[in-house]
């Protein structure tokens, strides 16, 4: 009977929604149902928010059931934006109707801003002041971020430009929030020893689009602690560490009991879970991100040591971090409490080397050199983070090999957040921003031609601010600063002289030799890479030095032939001669971070230019359709 009543009522609801003045019989049938049945119907998922609004206006009883703080609007909110529910406590009073309205408004604002970015910043990378509209938005930031995530998760190969700028904005918002949290963390007293928390902030800043939280990482470590306790119970069933409650710990003073914990840890970490130092791929940034260390079960000395240290302290073993040169270590005190200790009163633990315990002499053998006693000393959280970021900085400088500067950008931001007056790093930052901001898009095969999607390039005026700060800190840098200032000012003047958008018409006489169009998927005849065309010139427009370095004169047609700007599947941007390109008979998506900057959709055979690119090449799309018809349709017919 109850099921029949529900089914009957479900038939009445649509009638009430669609008719402005429902018949009294239908309304009575609905409102006479028990309250829980009515609530079940209204929360069934078959009604939209607009439906609920109309239903609630039909009578007093339905209006009371649809009150803002009730289950009906909570369910509407949950179904529409499920990922936001984790931000609400079950005990909080929430007016779900008002939350729905605020979230809806934030979504519309987000889409409006994302839609504006392509037109505003197509010709240049988004400067920091390009995000000012976002920073001034009203309402909770999590609502705005959630809408950006919804855009990124849109299915299919469409809305590529929207996704491109949504990703940029989300990257910026999260990095700003993480950097603020890190700065607050660094203000803690020196005896605040949450090494893991600091390492997670670094991880989050370098991976702002990943779902990384201290809570989740701590939960994974807690599960390892449970395994250690299980092993420890087999060694000593009365061990005091087994009595520690979750989230609470105290230090054990007996060396023998501490040794039992370390033995159990080594067995679980290295024998059972197969954690190990990453000797095969040592210079990989993933080795420094704690969430990746836990997933891949490998890392470098400093990340492995932080994991080892965190587990040991939770189980009552007071290990300490040692900023040892070339190989981060932990130290374990063997001396009596209250006595004067020297470096020989400690055992040094190599977490990278499966928890091996070392003497002072063995530490020197490890790195192949003698070091002073000061380098065996313990370091605080800030020094540990400095070393982690320093490692990332070194990796960022090496990243020219894959033409990415994002890691260098991020590590510079982090290092300068900790030590804002480091002149050499400020100078490096200024040079980097100057380079990224001044080089044209057609920088060919040069490393600077490739840009990661989430770079937040400073304006040239902001580069000048950095240079002025460097000059104040160290007048001795006058020469380097003067050089950069001069060229930055020259660039600003050239930008002022630029006029309008250059439109290239295929029908123009000087473009008669251009064979290919923007959006076509091509293959390089010599190097074999797949790419998509996003621009072309009737002849090579690069300078004499580039032409000489690229050996363009050795080509049969030299530089007097069309050249194409292409996005390559390896993430680079190149400037390729027409004679070196051919149609890709098996077209596929090009996995390049800047595809969305130029194209709105991938059709399966070619890319469709977005509005801004089409303005610059207004006749190319028709040419693309003809090419696709001739090349791919003919191939399909021959196969059939």
Q: In sequence order, what DSSP letters do the residues of 436-467 get, joined into one string? A: HHHS-S--TTSGGG---TT--BPPHHHHHHHH
Is this model's pTM higher than 0.95 or not?
Answer: no
The pLDDT of residue 139 is: 76
Question: Which CATH topology does 509-633 take?
Answer: SH3 type barrels. (2.30.30)
Which are the contacts of 442, defined by CB distance < 8 A and separation ≥ 6?
449, 535, 537, 541, 542, 563, 565, 575
Whether 546 has a pLDDT exceeding 80, the answer reads yes
Determine phi and psi for 29, rounding to 5 degrees.
-60, -40
- Dump pLDDT digits (tens) for 259-312: 999 999 999 999 999 999 999 999 999 999 999 999 999 999 999 999 999 999
Range from 13-17, 152-156, 219-223, 273-277 carrying the lowest mean pLDDT: 13-17
Domain range annotation of the chain: 99-187, 195-388, 389-442+450-498, 509-633
Per-residue pLDDT, averaged over 65-83, amounts to 91
- The C-alpha atoms of residue 127 and residue 495 are separated, in whole angstroms, by 15
- The gap from C-alpha 543 to its chain's centroid, in whole angstroms, comes to 36
- Most confident range (mean pLDDT) of 41-50, 284-293, 445-454 is 284-293
Strand-pair partners of 298: 276
Q: What count of Cα atoms within 13 Å lies in the side-chain half-sphere of residue 222?
A: 12
Indicate the pLDDT class of residue 637, thresholds 50, 70 and 90: low
Instruction: Please give the pLDDT value at position 473.
Output: 79
| Whole-number Å distance between alpha carbons of 151 and 163 | 6
Contact 306, 288 (CB under 8 A): no
Residues 6+ apart with CB under 8 A from 412: 393, 396, 425, 428, 429, 432
What's the angle, vertex CA 533, arms to CA 405 and CA 114, rounded to 5? 60
The pLDDT mean for the chain works out to 85
How many Cβ atoms sit within 10 Å of the Cβ of residue 270? 18
Q: State the helix-helix crossing angle for 141-152 and 160-186, rounded to 10 degrees.
A: 140
| β-pairing verdict for 356-358 and 607-609 | unpaired
For 593-625, the pLDDT digits (tens) are: 899 999 999 999 999 999 999 999 999 999 999
Contact (CB, 8 A) for 129 and 463: no
Kindly provide the b/e burial profile for residues 511-523, where b requires at least 16 CB atoms within 10 angstroms of the residue's own CB.
eeebbbbbbbbbb
**How many beta carbons lie within 10 A of that of residue 87, not counting itself?**
11
- pLDDT at 147 exceeding the cut of 80: yes
């Amino acid at each position: 009977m109850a099921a029949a009543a529900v089914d009957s009522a479900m038939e009445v609801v649509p009638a009430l929604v669609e008719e402005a003045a429902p018949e009294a019989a239908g309304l009575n049938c609905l409102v006479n149902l028990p309250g829980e049945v009515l609530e079940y119907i209204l929360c069934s998922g078959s009604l939209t928010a607009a439906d609920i609004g109309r239903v609630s206006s039909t009578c007093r009883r339905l209006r009371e059931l649809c009150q803002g703080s009730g289950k009906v609007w909570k369910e509407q909110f949950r179904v529409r934006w499920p990922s936001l529910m984790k931000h609400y406590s079950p005990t909080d009073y929430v007016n779900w109707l008002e939350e729905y309205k605020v979230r809806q408004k934030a979504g519309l604002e987000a889409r409006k801003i994302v839609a504006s970015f392509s037109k505003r910043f197509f010709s240049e990378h988004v400067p920091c002041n390009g995000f000012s509209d976002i920073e001034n938005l009203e309402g909770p930031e999590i609502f705005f971020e959630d809408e950006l995530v919804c855009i990124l998760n849109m299915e299919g190969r469409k809305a590529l430009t929207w996704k491109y700028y949504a990703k940029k904005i989300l990257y910026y918002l999260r990095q700003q929030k993480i950097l603020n949290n890190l700065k607050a963390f660094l203000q803690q007293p020196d005896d605040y020893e949450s090494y893991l928390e600091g390492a997670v902030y670094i991880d989050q800043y370098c991976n702002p689009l990943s779902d990384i939280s201290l809570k989740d990482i701590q939960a994974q470590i807690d599960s390892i602690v449970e395994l250690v306790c299980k092993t420890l119970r087999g060694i000593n069933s009365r061990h005091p560490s087994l009595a520690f409650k979750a989230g609470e710990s105290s230090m054990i003073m007996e060396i023998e009991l501490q040794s039992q914990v370390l033995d159990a840890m080594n067995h679980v970490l290295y024998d059972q879970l197969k954690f190990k130092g990453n000797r095969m791929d040592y210079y990989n940034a993933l080795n420094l991100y704690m969430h990746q260390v836990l997933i891949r079960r490998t890392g470098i000395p400093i990340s492995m040591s932080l994991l080892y240290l965190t587990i040991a302290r939770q189980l009552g073993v007071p290990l300490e971090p040692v900023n040892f040169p070339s190989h981060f270590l932990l130290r374990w005190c063997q001396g009596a409490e209250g006595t004067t200790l020297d470096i020989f009163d400690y055992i040094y633990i190599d977490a990278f080397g499966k928890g091996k315990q070392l003497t002072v002499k063995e530490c020197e053998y490890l790195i192949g050199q003698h070091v002073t006693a000061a380098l065996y000393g313990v370091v605080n959280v800030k020094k540990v983070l400095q070393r982690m970021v320093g490692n990332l900085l070194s990796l960022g400088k090496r990243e020219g090999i894959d033409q990415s500067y994002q890691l260098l950008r991020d590590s510079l931001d982090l290092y300068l957040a900790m030590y804002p007056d480091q002149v050499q790093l400020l100078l490096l930052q200024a040079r980097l921003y100057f380079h990224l901001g001044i080089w044209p898009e057609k920088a060919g095969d040069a490393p600077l031609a490739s840009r990661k999607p989430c770079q937040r390039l400073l304006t040239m005026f902001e580069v000048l601010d950095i240079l002025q700060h460097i000059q104040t800190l160290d007048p001795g840098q006058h020469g380097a600063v003067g050089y950069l200032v001069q060229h930055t000012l020259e660039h600003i003047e050239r930008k002022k002289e630029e006029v309008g958008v250059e439109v290239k018409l295929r029908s123009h006489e000087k473009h008669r030799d251009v064979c290919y169009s923007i959006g076509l998927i091509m293959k390089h005849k010599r190097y074999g890479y797949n790419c998509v065309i996003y621009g072309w010139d009737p002849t090579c427009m690069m300078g004499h030095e580039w032409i000489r370095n690229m050996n363009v004169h050795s080509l049969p047609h030299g530089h007097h032939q069309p050249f194409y700007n292409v996005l390559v599947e390896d993430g680079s941007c190149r400037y390729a001669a027409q004679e070196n390109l051919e149609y890709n008979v098996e077209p596929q998506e090009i996995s390049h971070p800047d595809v969305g900057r130029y194209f709105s959709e991938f059709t399966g055979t070619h890319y469709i230019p977005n509005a801004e690119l089409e303005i610059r090449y207004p006749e190319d799309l028709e040419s693309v359709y003809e090419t696709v018809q001739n090349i791919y349709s003919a191939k399909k017919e021959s196969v059939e």
